[in-house]
Structure 1
Amino acid sequence: MSTLFFSKAKYMSTIIHLIILVHQSLASSEPVDPTQGFVSLPLNRSYYHIQKPYDLPEDRHKPHSQTSQTKPRTEIAIQGVWQFEGYGYVPAGTSGVCIMQVFGASPHATTLMLRVYNGSLMYYRSQVLVDEIYDRWFRLNVIHDVDGSKVKVYIDGYPKLEVDGRGGTSHAFKCGVYAQDDDSFYMESRWKGLRVLKKSD
């Protein structure tokens, strides 16, 4: 299983490390299994790509394109609908960063953003989902029902958020680091056990 480390030092560099780990499955005692009724899809290069500086290796900071007006970021973008699952870790000190999003909406750019501010995991910057997210592995499940226009977020199996969708016809799940307002000098998130799932027939 792969663990992805996404980090960003403002005005300095963007670093992504891919480290192959062999480990035992995480013991779970979650009260809810959000993946029930879903089947896992293959997660290969046909389903995802890594967004990084447009003309440099992943360890250098630059926008994605010469005309990009976005803030610094390094993210993995996974095509597909229905459900994202991954185990995330945010080191203390990382703040003002989006660690996971559902890209695509209309007229907005995103359907969902999960941001970290001073140790709290938040829905955009309007609602706290977890008070203390630093320095621990957590299981994140995001269910995006495009047809039903609903988004649900689970942390460690606990339902934390249910909101309406925001339209759009093309979507992607993204995780990593993407600078937001009041971003810290250095940012990092780590991910492993990434899956994308669809409703079973």
Structure 2
Amino acid sequence: MKASYCYSLLLILLAVSAKEHSLFGAADPTDGFTQLPLTDDNFDLQKPYNIPLSQRYNYSDGIRSLWVYNNDKPFKHSSGTRPRTEIRIKGYDYSSGVWQFEGYAYVPKGTSGVTIVQIHGAAEGATTLQLRIYDGNMRYYKYNLVATDLYDKWFRVNVIHDVNEGKITVFIDGEQKFVVKDQGPGDLYFKCGVYAAPENSSNFMESRWRDIKLFKK
């Protein structure tokens, strides 16, 4: 009887150990990558050209808040693009290799029809990736569903771009959510913030970002 009890207890302990290993032993998206140094000089802020930056951007306690209105001006007078307040990561433009963007994002409820992450540059068109928020869900442009229920909470975004293989992989909170072929080679760089890329965006759009990092393999 005692031996049977000990055997059962051992099986339970082994099962718990296996579960913990599966939960905590999974590979992180950044494994095998080298983190690149980022300073304030690498964060180029784009905002409506006719208003001060302080009216569309705030940086406090490590959190970068970016917002824009649907009827705002574009980021420069000569541009015909939709309004935006975005961080363009400069100094790390790329055209080959394997690169990764990481950041923790927060999107308030009501922000909809807005791009919060971009890879700018492509063989055809302006971008090779746009991750948009529609009614709390994330989509690849306006098409494939990437993740759901993202309003009013911090979530981790990792985007890996393997240029040589022409592949982009998106992780949300460390879980692989989406893989897609890129849009071809170009002068590529990462952006995050709020860009009213589609028509019929919400009147007010905001995203907040912290712990923005860049990696290369």
TM-score by length of 1: 0.80
Q: Which has the larger share of strand?
A: 1
Change over 3 Å in CA distance of 1:56–1:41 after alignment to 2 = same
Residue 50 of structure 1 deviates from its aligned partner by: 0.9
Contact kept in structure 2, 1:99 and 1:116, CA below 8 Å: yes
Task: Point out the structure with max Rg over C-alpha.
Answer: 2
Cα offset, 1:51, TM superposition: 1.1
Structure 1 CA distance for aligned equivalents of residues 173 and 131 of structure 2 = 15
Within-5 A mapping of 1:143-182: 143-179=160-196, 180-182=198-200
Query: Gaps spanning 5+ residues in structure 1: where?
Result: 1-27
Look up the equivalent residue of 1:110 and give its one-letter code: T
Q: Write out the 4+ residue segments of structure 1 that deviate beyond 6 Å after TM superposition.
A: none
Identity over aligned pairs, percent: 50
Match of 2:203, as an amino acid? F
Provide the rounded CA distance (Å) in 1 between the counterparts of 2:142 and 2:202: 15
Deviation at 1:169, TM superposition (A): 2.3
CA distance in 1, matches of 2:200, 2:147: 19
CA contact under 8 A between 2:73 and 2:82: conserved in structure 1? Answer: no
What corresponds to 1:93 in structure 2?
A: 110
1:13 match: none
- Please report how far the alpha carbon of residue 92 of structure 1 lies from its aligned counterpart in structure 2 after TM superposition: 0.4
CA deviation vs aligned residue, 1:5-51 (integer Å, no higher than 9, x gap): xxxxxxxxxxxxxxxxxxxxxxx958430000111111124433111
Unaligned residue ranges in structure 2 (runs of 5+) = 1-22, 57-71
Aligned length: 172
Q: Paired residue for 1:50?
A: 45
Alignment-derived partner of residue 87 in structure 2: 76
Q: C-alpha deviations, 1:118-140, integer Å up to 9, x for none?
A: 11111111111112110110000
| Residues 30, 169 of structure 1: alpha-carbon distance in 2 compared, 3 angstrom cutoff | farther
